[in-house]
Amino acid sequence: MGRPGAVIEVDRNTPPTLFHFGEGVRLERLPLGSRVVYPPDPLPPIAHPERAIRRALAHPLDDDPLRSLLRPGMRLTIAFDDLSLPLPPMVQPDVRQLVLEEVIELAAEAGVEDVHLIVANSLHRRMTAEEIRHVVGDRVFTTFYPDRLYNHDAEDPEGNVFLGTTAMGEEVTLNRRAAESDLVVYVNLTLVPMDGGHKSLATGLGSYRSVRAHHTVHTLRNSRSYMHPPDSALHHACVRQGQLIEDAVRCFHIETAVNNHCFPALVNFMQKRETDWTGTDQAAYLALKQLTDLAPPSVKRAMFHSMRAPYGLTAVHAGQVDAVHERTLAAVERQMVVEVEGQTDIVTFGVPYLGPYNVNASMNPVLVVCMGLGYLFNLYRGRPVVRPGGVVILFHPCRYEFDSVQHPSYIDFYDEVLADTTDPAEIEARYERCFAEDPWYRQLYRRSYAYHGVHPFYAWYWAAHAMEYVGDVIVVGGERETVRRLGFKCASTLADALEMAEQTVGRHPSITHLRFPPLLLADVR
Amino acid sequence: MRFELLRDLELLRRGWYWGQVRPEWPEPREVTPGSPSLEWARSEPVRALRWLAQRGLSLPFTRLMTRPLVEGAVWLRDQDRSMILASNHVSHADTHVLLAALPDHVRERTVVGAAADYWYRRPWLGRLISFWLNTFPFARSGGAQGVLHSSSQLLRSGWHLLLYPEGTRSPDGRLQEFKPGVGHLAGEARVPVVPIHVQGTHRVMPKGRRVPLPAPVRVRIGKPIQPEPGETSRGFARRVERMVRELGNGSRSPEVVGSWIERWRATAPGGRSRPWAERTEPRDGE
């Protein structure tokens, strides 16, 4: 059994602390008295995942066994989460592959001829054939690709149907194939508490029309946090949409959770607390640091993005969505939650090389904001780790660097929209619709491998709550011009950043460093 | 003198039907000079040497030049029973590409039908390609019964047979009419025929060119089929031709590429359900 998460106070014997720094890492000495929050060690994985999956399908929660729902002549649609989960991508076999193989085996035994598999990529970019093969495995891929295994197209006018409007006025659309199926099986992988549940279907197979209902500045500012669904307006909207879908289509949910073993053996030092580092870990750190200091960005990117995480399955549940999701969330929180006593004036963390929207691409400045002030800042329940008006210090090189294939609309968002204003509400009111309905972005989303035109707006809105809540944001090591465009301050060193922060929060501030990844969920008391 | 005697005997034999309706004897052609016995090409240690030559030279070179994209290899994965691989033919590169596309266990048991009047006209060339590609002389005209018999023997001995039922390379890349021999053979040996379509090799080495050029190639392998009761050889050959044509057109109809359940079962780990599984090992020699 691994150790639970911990909060360690920095004293004179505390070794320097690891900070992720984009496609690199660095060690920093935190001031004495600072707190470092460490995630729990990885939970032991289930020894026989296939057996656990078969058991879950045979004994679902509040639903009939999957075998009894399958019959010849029916239309079966199996949807599954896209490559934004897990991060980094898993070593093969991916958990989704194991689940899909069991579901498909049952369908074959039942003689269900009409089976389609759909990547629930929503407004994310399409997955390439090789990425799909990695997730579903060779056997599923060669059997179904490409005519029966494909990406969801949220902009296909014929491929989506309008199901109705919720009591709160949220519109609901769904992929036509799923909507016209006798049974939809959703295969999910929950990495953090915001994933899964009703959000899977409502968002994953939805269109701009349904996603825009809850991806708004207002909703996200009232989701405190969206990593804790009971307190998340975003999730409340998803639940209403999901219930409407469940009324229209027969759904069977399969949710899985994995532990936080997210780094391969070669760089396992990133997984460990610095006090646990061995000589080998120190040598590995040294080698990686020198390499990332010297290597050109393309080499670093190739190196980091080739990493595959040896995640282990910790939970698998199947059946009715609410019952399943409750159990899944419990498993995820068991892996992630760390109790933190009280808030802090300054919170620091490094932004790693990878977020949900830049798999096999560079992390552009807008995504740095999304990752730092969106996902990582919101990894709390109860209250944020930093006090209202406090300071967030991020570590990231924050270069003006965009992937023109995956993020074309991000380039224009940065160059045109952020040059005008950084206020999420104003951006939403003035620019969102224009980008969302741009025919060129729509074409790139449908035919190339680009994120939807509206996607940079959502990435920016993710940070709306943090922007409103904190007093200042300082990016250590960032490009000055770029950081200024984002509306933040730039510092060269941690010491400089702390001095700048004192101007906002006063002298002798309390400092807390969140040491992720691996991800943790701070339960602030 | 010995050869003169044989010639005289042949002439006598041609005149045997005096006073009756004379059958249409084909013109005698030196298609297989000396009627080379090619048993050596399928016996040890030649098989081991061929394995080394192919693995060391021709397969890496072919893969480097053509980067073959193979679809439908699932149909060959657990195929233990002998089968006829029937492909379209546009280039001398076809055989190399197809051998590179086959799974190892299938390639090592595959004999390639090579035009006797083209490849075996010169004995040294015949022996070279028999060694390198495991070919055997397939007469395109005349001696059909003999060829069918020897092909059938190969199939019964556990070998797979790669044939080009069009009979020759297509001059313009378009599929030509399939000859009925493939139907005869499938009916006589009672083996399945695997339709294959290879695309792109005309860019690698079109008819008339001697030096290959790099170009991407796609190989689509269809669901194995067998003659149905009452189906004529010609009718079956036409069916194979239609399937190869549909593979070339990118068809994904269950008739051509199988239903997903068939494909799923064909890839079952450990051969949980293999419709064609019927273990036969090739015997030494033939």
Please give the pLDDT value at position B170: 83
Nearest chain B CA: its distance from A78 CA (Å): 14
In chain A, which residue's Cα lies nearest the Cα of B265?
A108
Q: Is A368 helix (H, G, I), strand (E, B) or coil?
A: helix
Tokens of A232: 């998340």
Q: What pLDDT is stored for residue B43 in this prediction?
A: 77
Hey, where are the domains in chain B? 39-200+215-266
- Nearest-CA residue of chain B relative to A109? B261
- Contact across the interface for B264 and A148, Cβ inside 8 Å: no
Residue B162 distance to chain A (closest CA, Å): 23
Rounded Cα distance between A117 and A56, Å, is: 20
Higher pLDDT, B24 or B172: B172
The per-residue pLDDT of chain B, averaged, comes to: 79
| Cβ separation A142–B74 shorter than 8 A | yes
| DSSP letters spanning B7-32 | HHHHHHHHTTTTTSPPP-PPPP--SS
Does ipTM surpass 0.90 in this model? Answer: no
Closest chain A residue to the Cα of B268, Cα to Cα: A139
The pLDDT, as a whole number, for residue B277 is: 36
- Number of neighbouring beta carbons within 10 Å of residue A286: 11
Q: Would you call B264 and A108 a contact, using CB atoms and an 8 Å cutoff?
A: yes
The C-alpha atoms of residue A169 and residue A462 are separated, in whole angstroms, by: 22
Question: Confidence band (pLDDT; 50, 70, 90) for B8?
Answer: low
B161: closest CA among B74, B86, B247, B49? B86
* Residue B165 identity (one-letter amino acid): P
**Which residues from B are below 8 Å from A111, CB to CB?**
261
Q: Indicate the pLDDT class of residue B12, thresholds 50, 70 and 90.
A: low
Q: What are residue A315's DSSP bridge partners?
A: A257
pLDDT digits over B187-218, tens only? 888 899 999 999 988 888 877 778 888 999 99
Nearest-Cα residue of chain A relative to residue B72: A142
Three-state secondary structure call for residue B249: coil
Instruction: Select from B76, B260, B262 the residue whose CB has the most chain A CBs within 10 Å, as the one to mutate to test that interface.
Output: B260
Reported as a pLDDT band with limits 50, 70 and 90, residue B37 is low
Chain B: residue nearest A112 by CA? Answer: B261
More confident residue, B276 or B126: B126
The answer to whether the CB atoms of A144 and B260 lie below 8 A apart is yes
Q: Is residue B157 a contact partner of residue B169, using CB atoms and an 8 Å limit?
A: no
Does residue B264 sit at the A interface (CB-CB below 8 Å)?
yes
Predicted confidence at residue B35, as pLDDT, reads 45
Determine whether the interchain pair A115/B267 forms a contact, defined as Cβ–Cβ distance below 8 Å. Answer: no
Name the residue with tokens 């109790």: A339
Residues of A with CB below 8 A from B264's CB?
A: 104-105, 108, 139, 143
With cut-offs at 50, 70 and 90, classify the pLDDT of residue B143: low
Q: Do A111 and B264 touch (CB under 8 A)?
A: no
Choose among A416, A488, A516: nearest CA to A456.
A416
Residue B246 distance to chain A (closest CA, Å)? 15
Shortest Cα–Cα distance, B71 to chain A (Å): 8
Residue B139 confidence (pLDDT) above 80: no
Residue A442 Cα distances to A52, A439, A455, B145, angstroms: 41, 5, 11, 62
Cis omega (within 30 of 0) for bond into A365:
no
Per residue in A18-41, pLDDT (tens digit) is: 999 999 999 999 999 999 999 999
- Residue B29 pLDDT exceeds 80: no
- Domain B39-200+215-266, classified CATH 3.20.20.150, yes or no: no
Can you tell me the distance from the alpha carbon of A249 to that of A129, in angstroms, rounded to the nearest whole number?
28
pLDDT at residue B270, as a whole number: 65
What pLDDT, in 10s, does the model give residues B99-119? 999 988 888 888 898 887 788
CA A405 vs. chain centroid, Å, equals 21
Partners of residue A113 in chain B, C-beta under 8 Å? 259-261
All residues of chain B having their beta carbon less than 8 Å from the beta carbon of residue A105 are: 264
Are B261 and A147 an interchain contact pair (Cβ–Cβ within 8 Å)?
no
CA-based nearest distance A109→chain B, Å: 9
Q: Interface of chain A against chain B, CB under 8 Å? A: 104-105, 108, 111, 113, 115, 139, 142-144, 147-148
Asked if B261 and A111 come within 8 Å (Cβ–Cβ), the reply is yes
Q: Measured between beta carbons, which residues in chain A are less than 8 angstroms from residue B260?
A: 108, 113, 115, 143-144, 148
Task: Test B261 with A113 for CB contact under 8 angstroms.
Answer: yes
CA-nearest residue to A146 within chain B is B252
Q: For residue A84, give both structure tokens.
A: 């934004």
Chain A residues with CB under 8 Å of B259 CB are: 113
Nearest chain A Cα distance for residue B78, angstroms:
13
The answer to whether B259 contacts chain A (CB < 8 Å) is yes
Which helix (H) or strand (E) segment holds residue A162: the answer is: strand A160-165
Tens digit of pLDDT for each residue in A55-93? 999 999 999 999 999 999 999 999 999 999 999 999 999
Taking Cα atoms as reference points, which of B14, B205, B264 lies closest to residue A145?
B264
Mutate to test the interface with B, among A106, A140, A142 (most CBs of B within 10 A): A142
Closest CA to A497 of A418, A394, A407, A398: A394
Is B54 a residue whose pLDDT tops 90? no
CB contact under 8 A, B267 and A142: yes
pLDDT of residue B278: 36
From the CA of A180, how many Å to the nearest CA of chain B? 20
| Cα–Cα distances in angstroms (integers) from residue A15 to residues A3, A4, A275, B144, B262, in the given order | 19, 20, 7, 85, 60
Q: What are B232-284's pLDDT values in tens digits?
A: 989 999 999 999 999 998 888 888 888 999 989 888 876 543 333 333 344 44
Decide which of A245 and B14 is more confident.
A245
Q: Which of B252, B267, B269 lies closest to A147 in CB terms?
A: B252
Question: Residue B33 pLDDT more than 60?
Answer: no
Please tell me if residue B265 touches chain A, with a CB cutoff of 8 Å. yes
Q: Taking CA atoms, what residue in A is nearest to B70?
A: A142
Cβ B166 vs Cβ B89: under 8 Å = yes
Record the pTM. 0.85
Which residues in chain A come in under a pLDDT of 70? 1
CA distance to partner chain B, nearest, from residue A116 (Å): 10
- Determine contact: B251 vs chain A, CB below 8 A: no
B265 neighbourhood in chain A, CB within 8 Å: 108
Which residues between 40 and 99 in chain B have a beta carbon less than 8 angstroms from any beta carbon of chain A?
Answer: 73-74
